[in-house]
Structures are given as structure tokens and as C-alpha cells.
Amino acid sequence: MKIVLHGLCIAVAAGSLSLSGGAVSAQALYTVILPAGEFGSKNYTEVVTSNIAAAQAFCAEIDNDSYKVDCLAERLGEIAKEIPKDSDYAEVRQILADTSKQLSDLAKANRDPNQVRGRAVSKGEIPVSTSRPLNPVKPSSLPDVNRQARAILDNTQTLLLRSAESSESKALQYSRIADALGSSKVLLRSA
């Protein structure tokens, strides 16, 4: 894996992800039909949970732990943007967008001025890139920042579960999404 930051190239390890100053983007097109008159769809929940798992895997490939909090923030923000505003998942969209902003703000507040910002780019059949350069966290702040990021994810899980309390059909879908988010906390324990 290489980390390329605004034209600098630093060899890190063999792998499939790098950070780069250039913009590379990939998009996947999929169609999920949400049934009328009933909450959501098991298939769409699977799309959201799979996207969260893919985000976790993507960020885990970055060898420099300083970028992982902001990587997770950026990926959750992109997942939120993909959720239709006028769907049964609009509340999930807002909760994920808020979580993304909180994580991003946390990374910005603890930014390491000695490391450059850069985009994470996967090297695979379909390359994926972060939509913006990532903010590295100061290594000395990383344990505390990761603890705070895990607390943000805990709060997000709680919000999802409480939001679904009034609806049995929502409860199962939101619970699956909350579980997927919970697995992201493992990413923040390794540093």
C-alpha cells in the first residue's frame, strides 16, 4: 500500500489502499425498490449495512491510524448522502450525517499539523476514493480521540434504537444498522 499526499509518496506496506492528493472516484449504480405502505425493506437495510461494512473495511486498510477517524467520518457521510431524503430511511440518513459531522469535527479539532491531508484510494477492480482529503489526528491525541469517536458511535447506536421504539418494523431494520455501526468501533481500538 502507498500513501500519496499532495504529490508526496511514502511506502507503507503491501495492500490495496493509498492516500493521494489526486481525485479518483468510482460509483456503483443499484436500484432498490422500497415497498409502499410498509416500512423500508430488508433488501435496502442490507444495502445500508453492507455499505457500513465496506466503509469499515476501506478505512481499516489505511496503515496510518491517524487518518481512520476522519476516514470513517467521510465514509459515513457518503453513505448518508446515498440514502433518499424522502424514504422511510430519512431518519437514518440524518443520524448518519450527524455522526459523520461529529467525527469529522473531532478529527479537525485534533489535526496533526505535521502530517498532510490526503485522500484514501483503494486499488481494486473498481477503485474507490474518499470524496475529500482526510485530516490526520495527532498521534499523542489518538487514544483520546478514538475513545471519543467510540462514544459518538455508541450514541449513534442508541439514537437509532430509540428512534425505532415506536415501530416494530423499524426496530428490526434500525437494530441491524446500529449493529453494523457498532462493529465500526473495532477500527478505533487498534490505534
Q: Mean pLDDT across the chain, nearest whole number?
A: 81
Q: Is residue 106 part of a domain?
A: yes
Q: Is 5 helix (H, G, I), strand (E, B) or coil?
A: strand
Q: Is residue 4 part of a domain?
A: no
Distance CA 167, CA 169 (A): 5
Which residue segment(s) compose the domain that 63 sits in? 39-117+132-188
Under a CB-based contact definition with an 8 Å cutoff, are residues 116 and 134 in contact? Answer: no
> What does pTM read for this prediction?
0.79
User: CA dist 101 to 6, 73, 74, 83, 138, Å?
Assistant: 24, 7, 9, 16, 19
Tens of pLDDT, residues 129-164: 999 999 999 999 999 999 999 999 999 999 999 987
Q: Is residue 32 part of a domain?
A: no
Q: Is residue 80 part of a domain?
A: yes
Residue 188: band (very low, low, confident or very high) from pLDDT cuts 50, 70, 90: confident
Closest listed residue to residue 110, CA positions, set 134, 149, 145? 145
**Number of structural domains found in the chain:** 1
Percent of the chain predicted with pLDDT > 70: 78
Provide the grid cell at 62.
489505511
Q: Is residue 124 part of a domain?
A: no
Under a CB-based contact definition with an 8 Å cutoff, are residues 191 and 68 in contact? Answer: yes
